[in-house]
């Protein structure tokens, strides 16, 4: 019996390992959308999202401090239809996947991993395994929100970012596939004549797209931004106060001493420089004013020194990478962890100027930023001087993605205070707080990564291989990662057999070499004969995807013996 038929004999029993926000969202999705029977393995029902998971209807909990064979037996992994490993531990998830595979070789596994290069290689070790990254799934939505798009028009695939564009806007060498012909009264999806498609899927190579022009603030707005930045600086405030004292002192000396303007200015400057000469014949008010002017003038020196030190600190915050003073229309990304590093990669691929902010030089995305000459500012994003160093005042958007709700919310509000019309994309882990913040503060989006990724994880557990979607008018094209199973209808057939005019088209191929996962071929020959464990990247409608999945996974009926 084939692995597929074995899996279909199982019921709708699913196992989820984890108690984090993604686990909670995933379990809720399986129960509410697919009416599934779910067992959750967690360390304690009192930790993380354990209490919320326990309240979901029909959920069976298995509490265990360690994920060993006995725990997997208790969770009935041997009888399960699918297992999801969603902890933030790549090595731990791989270890558990190997344990589960020994108990049930035909089990479908969905593994959460950040290192997708390792994940694609690990996936080939199992009969039926999907490796997903929640940060990679959430990044397109966050980027789209930062750029003001209603929905993502781009998708990140292994090694490159693809985006939707008009054919005349991109060179022919960057076109991957024609998406649609919109010239007629009715839009034709995936036309047989690819040259007739005026809407195409193209490779993003870092060149700015014409449909995403930088949003340059006006000259008047720039002046206001600089004035506001100066006025909120405490050192500038102190210096202005001292200058005010000197001006008032000079005016009083002129008025009370009956001096001319030139003489009054001369005496005031001498007093401010510390060159004052005692004169007991002066009136008491003049003496008091003279002392105040002298003390104020001497105090200006420490203020200037402090300003110089502040400038050196700002240079240190910029991490040796200067943010151009004239930069504008850029996106400021705060937090270069798992999600932030994905976001800056996609923004860089799309040719959007980006400035990065993080409190740690060891953050995951710092290396990428430096390799691609992206300015990096090190410091606490909840401080106005750090955001000013990143030129938030002239940015098109601020994307805040740290692991702290407090820092994220404070940085978002501070950014909006520095510029009232600034687009803010905010990541919050508390979903209820996120909804209220979005509703009351008008931020572009304020969703947790788990909320954005849960649907994709649930779909993967239900054997749906969709890794991205592209909206075209009222239609949706899906990008799916489809392995060729042993004995499937497509095994031994040319790639062209997977094409279906208006419904499905193969855009990339990964050949099975017997030595692990290979590289994707984005221009595969149409006469290449597909082999078991080859992997197709397919662009399809819902109906077309269903047909390709059936042909790639369903076993070819065998004739009856005798």
Q: At 553, phi and psi to the nearest 5?
A: -115, -30
- Mean pLDDT over each residue of the chain, to the nearest integer: 80
Hey, what are 387's tokens? 């955001």
Q: In terms of Cα–Cα distance, which of 533, 530, 536 is closest to 549?
A: 536
Q: Please state, in angstroms and rounded to a whole number, the distance separating the CA atoms of residues 366 and 360.
A: 9
In order along its 562 residues, the chain shows pLDDT tens digits of 333 333 333 447 899 999 998 899 899 988 987 788 999 999 999 998 999 999 999 899 999 988 899 999 999 999 999 999 999 889 999 999 999 999 999 898 999 988 877 887 787 778 778 888 878 777 877 888 888 775 566 777 766 788 888 888 888 888 888 888 888 778 888 888 888 888 888 888 766 654 444 444 455 555 554 555 555 556 667 777 888 888 888 888 887 877 888 877 877 777 777 766 677 677 788 778 878 878 887 777 787 777 667 656 655 554 444 577 668 889 999 999 988 998 999 899 888 999 999 999 889 999 999 898 899 998 899 888 889 889 898 999 999 999 888 899 999 999 988 888 888 888 887 767 777 777 777 676 556 677 777 777 887 787 656 777 777 766 778 888 888 888 889 999 999 999 888 899 999 898 877 665 567 888 888 889 999 888 899 988 878 888 888 888 755 444 444 4
Residue 221, pLDDT score:
52
Q: At 477, phi and psi to the nearest 5?
A: -100, 140
Residue 319, pLDDT score:
46
For 222-263, what is the HEC assignment?
HHHHHHHHHHCCHHHHHHHHHHHHHHHHHHHHHHHHCCCHHH
Residue 400, pLDDT score:
93
Residue 93, pLDDT score:
93
Residue 5, pLDDT score:
34
* Residue 499 and residue 190 in contact, taking contact as beta carbons nearer than 8 Å: no
Helices (H), 89-146: 90-103, 116-123, 134-146
Q: Please state, in angstroms and rounded to a whole number, the distance separating the CA atoms of residues 301 and 164.
A: 58
Residue 318, pLDDT score:
47
- Helix, strand, or coil here: 44? coil
Phi-psi region of 258 (alpha: psi -120 to 50; beta: other; left: phi over 0): left
Q: Please state, in angstroms and rounded to a whole number, the distance separating the CA atoms of residues 362 and 104.
A: 40
- Helix, strand, or coil here: 77? helix
Q: In terms of Cα–Cα distance, which of 490, 500, 502 is closest to 528?
A: 490
Bridge partners for 399 per DSSP? 333, 425
Residue 493, pLDDT score:
92
Residue 526, pLDDT score:
87
Q: Please state, in angstroms and rounded to a whole number, the distance separating the CA atoms of residues 119 and 132.
A: 8
């Amino acid at each position: 019996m084939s692995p597929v038929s074995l899996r279909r004999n199982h019921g709708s029993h699913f196992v989820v390992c984890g108690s984090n926000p993604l686990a909670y969202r995933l379990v809720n999705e399986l129960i509410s959308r697919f009416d599934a029977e779910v067992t959750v393995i967690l360390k304690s029902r009192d930790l993380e999202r354990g209490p919320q998971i326990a309240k979901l209807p029909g959920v069976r909990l298995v509490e265990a401090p360690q994920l060993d064979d006995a725990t997997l037996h208790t969770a009935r992994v041997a009888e399960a239809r699918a297992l999801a490993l969603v902890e933030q531990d790549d090595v731990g998830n791989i270890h558990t996947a190997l344990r589960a595979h020994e108990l049930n070789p035909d089990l479908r596994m969905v593994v959460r991993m950040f290192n997708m290069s390792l994940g694609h290689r690990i996936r080939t070790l199992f009969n039926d395994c999907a490796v997903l990254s929640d940060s990679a799934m959430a990044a397109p939505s966050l980027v789209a929100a930062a750029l003001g798009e209603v929905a993502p028009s781009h998708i990140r695939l292994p090694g490159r970012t693809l985006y939707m564009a008009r054919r005349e806007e991109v060179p022919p060498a960057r076109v991957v596939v024609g998406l649609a012909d919109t010239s007629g009264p009715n839009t034709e999806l995936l036309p047989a004549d690819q040259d007739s498609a005026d809407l195409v899927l193209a490779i993003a190579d870092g060149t700015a797209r014409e449909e995403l022009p930088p949003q340059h603030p006006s000259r008047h707005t720039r002046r206001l931004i600089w004035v506001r930045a100066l006025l909120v600086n405490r050192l500038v405030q102190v210096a202005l106060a001292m200058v005010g004292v000197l001006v008032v002192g000079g005016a009083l000396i002129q008025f009370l001493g009956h001096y001319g303007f030139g003489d009054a200015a001369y005496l005031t400057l001498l007093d401010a420089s510390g060159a004052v000469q005692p004169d007991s014949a002066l009136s008491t008010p003049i003496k008091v004013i003279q002392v105040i002017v002298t003390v104020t003038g001497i105090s200006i020196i420490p203020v200037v020194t402090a300003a110089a030190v502040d400038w050196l600190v700002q240079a240190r915050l910029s991490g040796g990478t200067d943010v151009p003073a004239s930069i504008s229309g850029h996106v400021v990304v705060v937090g270069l962890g798992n999600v932030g590093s994905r976001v800056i990669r996609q923004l860089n691929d799309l040719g959007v100027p980006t400035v990065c902010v993080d409190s740690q030089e060891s953050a995951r995305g710092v290396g990428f930023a430096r390799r691609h000459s992206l300015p990096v500012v090190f410091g606490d994003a909840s401080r106005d001087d750090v955001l000013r160093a990143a030129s938030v005042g002239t940015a098109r958007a601020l994307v805040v993605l740290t692991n702290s709700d407090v820092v994220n919310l404070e940085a978002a509000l501070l950014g909006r205070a520095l510029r009232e019309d600034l687009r803010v994309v905010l990541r919050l882990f508390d979903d209820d707080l996120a909804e209220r913040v979005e509703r009351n503060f008008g931020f572009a989006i304020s969703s947790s990564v788990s909320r954005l990724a849960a649907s994709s994880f649930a779909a993967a557990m239900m054997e749906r291989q969709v890794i991205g979607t592209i909206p075209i008018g009222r239609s949706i094209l899906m990008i799916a990662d489809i392995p060729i199973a042993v004995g499937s209808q497509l095994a031994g057939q040319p790639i062209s057999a997977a094409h279906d005019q208006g419904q499905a088209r193969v855009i990339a191929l990964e050949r099975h070499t017997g030595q692990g996962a290979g590289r994707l071929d984005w221009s595969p020959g149409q006469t290449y004969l597909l082999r078991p464990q080859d992997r197709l990247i397919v662009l399809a409608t819902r109906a077309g995807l269903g047909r390709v999945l059936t042909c790639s996974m369903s076993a070819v009926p065998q004739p009856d013996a005798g």
